[in-house]
Structure 1
Amino acid sequence: LGEGRSLKSDLRFAHSSDEGGSNVDNKAFGAMFTYAFGGHALGLGYQRMSGDTGFAYVNGSDAYLVNFVQISDFANREERSWQARYDFNFASVGIPGLTLMTRYLSGDGVELGAGREDGKEWERDTDIAYVIQSGPLKNLGLKWRNATVRTSHFGSDLDENRLILSYTLPLW
C-alpha cells in the first residue's frame, strides 16, 4: 500500500452447539479491518450473533470477539453490531509514548423474547496513554480509560473511568 501504510484484517468465527445436552446454540462471526497511515489508524468492524442463545463463555474465559470491548461484548442472542475506531500515535508529531484511541460501537436486533421489542445498545470508549521513554521511570505507563454504555429494554446504562498504571520489564 506504500511506505507507512498498511491494511490489517481480523476475521473470526466461533460455533457453539448443543452437543452433549447443553442449551448452547450460537454462531459468532466478526470482521475488523484497520487502515493505518502515518500516526493514524482507522478501523471498521462488524459482528453477528445467530442461534438460540448468545455467545457461550467457557469457565469464565475471555471472548475472542472483535466487538468485545471495555464493558460490553455485543454478543447477545441475534445481535448485529458494528464498530468505528480511530487511533493516533503522537510519535508521528514528535511526542513518543503518547497514544489516543477512541471507538464507537452500536448493536441492535437483540432477541429479548416473545412479545418484547428487540434490544439495542451502544458503547463509546476513549483511552489516552503515555509511556515514559527514558530515565529511571522508563517504561512506566499511565492510561486513562473512559467508557459509556447505553441500552434499550435490557441491561444497565453505565459510565466508567479507569486509571491504569503499567510497567514493561525488559528481560533481555
Structure 2
Amino acid sequence: MQRLFNYISNYIELTPQELDVLSNYVSERKYLKGQYILQQGDVCKHSSFILKGCTKMFFVDDTGQEHIIMLGVEDWWVSDIGSFIEQKPAQFNIQCLEDTVLAQFHVDTIDEVFQKIPSLERFFRKLLERGLAASQKRIIRNFSMTAKERYLYFRSTYPNIEQRIPQYLLASYLGITKEFLSKIKSQLASQ
C-alpha cells in the first residue's frame, strides 16, 4: 500500500494515525492477465488504484466493436465512476492487460473513510477534477488534431505505455484503424 500512500501524499498530508485508519479501509486485490475487474452491466463497487500492472477500459457497441476509453498503468485510478457514484449498471468493461494488483476502496465504506479522514474527501475531489479536465482535453484533441498528431501526443505524454499494449488497442484508443497506425509509424520511421 505504500505506493498508494505516496501517491496520496502528492495531494494531501496524512498523519501516521490517519494512514493507519486508511489502511483498514483499503483492500489489495490481484488479477490475472485477461481477467475482468468490471464488466458492462455490472455495478461498480470499487474505486481502484493500480499498484502494479496495466488495464484497459472499454465499451462494446451494438455491432460488437470494442472502443478503448482509457488505458491504465501504475499510479493511475480505474473505475466506471458513473456506476460507482450512482450504483447503477456500468457502461464500461475494465480488463487486465497484464497481471495486475489494485488497491481498492469499497463503495459501502467510502463515506465512513471521509468522515474519519476529512482531507481524503478533498483528495478524491481533486482526482475527479483532474480526471474531468483530462477527459475534456482528450475530446478537444480528438476533434482538433490529426491522427498523426494524436499518436505523437500519446507517445510523448505516455512513453511507458505503448510497449505494454498491442497496437490494435492503441489504434482504438486513438480512434483509428491498426493499419492506419502502422502507416503513421512507418512514415515517422522514414523521416
TM range (shorter): under 0.3
**TM-score with structure 1 setting the length:** 0.26
Point out the structure with max Rg over C-alpha.
1
* Structure of greater relative contact order (alpha carbons < 8 Å, 6+ residues apart): 2
Structure with greater proportional strand content: 1
